[in-house]
Amino acid sequence: MTTATWRSRARILGFAAAFSGAALLAVSGASGQGAPEDNPELFDALMSEGEGAYNSNCAGCHGADGGGGAGPTLAGNDYLASVRSLVGQTLAGNPDRGMPPFAGLSDREIAALTTYARNSWGNAYGLVLEETVSAYR
């Protein structure tokens, strides 16, 4: 095989790797989130579902208005910007601070309640995707 043939194959393989990597990031949402304007129907559905999931599972400690109580304030809390941290803590809890794990909730429920918290009370951090929750389990 000639040097030119090897270079050509290397370019093709490099392009394929770059393309599949970009496709994977696009499918996964890269950062685990999406912008509400990218999928307004999904955003609206997650916000609606998330309000109920939040009120059932989180409001007792974090307050119905996100103002805190036994748990920290979520309104205006920059911690919510990190999908990985928020989903991880929601799944595992924080026993040292009295937060139980919510790993028993479905990926959709976790995506909904974290999307709700990330976009309520003055927060505007975008969607959390079910696929992201699943990947962080």
CATH number at residue 107: 1.10.760.10
Residues 93 and 110 in one domain: yes
Residues 82 and 16 in one domain: no
- The residue-averaged pLDDT of 20-35 equals 47
- The residue-averaged pLDDT of 103-118 equals 98
Residues 25 and 67 in one domain: no
Residues 117 and 74 in one domain: yes
List all residues 6 or more positions away from 82 whose beta carbon is below 8 Å from its beta carbon.
none
User: Dihedral sign, CA of 78, 121, 59, 110?
Assistant: negative
> Count of domains in the chain?
2
Residues 18 and 45 in one domain: no
Q: Based on the number of CB atoms within 10 Å of its own CB, is 2 exposed (0-12), middle (13-18) or buried (19 or more)?
A: exposed
* Confidence band for 31, pLDDT divided at 50, 70 and 90: low
Residues 6 and 47 in one domain: no
The answer, yes or no, to whether residue 54 has pLDDT greater than 70, is yes
In terms of residue numbers, what domain contains 83? 31-136
- The residue-averaged pLDDT of 29-57 equals 86
The answer, yes or no, to whether residue 15 has pLDDT greater than 80, is no
What's the predicted TM-score (pTM) here?
0.76
